[in-house]
Amino acid sequence: MEKLCPTCNAKVSDNYNYCPVCGEPLTALAKQREELKLSNAGYEKLNELAAQSKDPAVMDAIKKMMFDK
């Protein structure tokens, strides 16, 4: 079985989670993984900022960034 990559229209075998041409995540699992990666990276960065800052206004801004979507 083959499917078409929605981004570059390459024909991709069904057992690929990612498009081998452009790297687009093709399965729900791969998409979830990408989202998790992004949110983890953001979360770590914000934690770092929060740890460096003792300013409560900055802490508030960081909390807003984390929880307001």
Which DSSP category does 25 fall into?
Answer: B
For residue 45, count other CB atoms closer than 10 A to its CB. 12
Q: How many residues bind Zn ion (CB under 5 A)?
A: 8
Report the nearest approach of Zn ion to the CB of residue 35 (Å).
18
21-40: contacts with Zn ion (CB under 5 A): 21-22, 24
Q: Which amino acid is at 66?
A: M
The SS3 call for residue 38 is helix
Report the nearest approach of Zn ion to the CB of residue 9 (Å).
7
Using CB under 5 A, list all residues that contact Zn ion.
5, 7-8, 10, 19, 21-22, 24
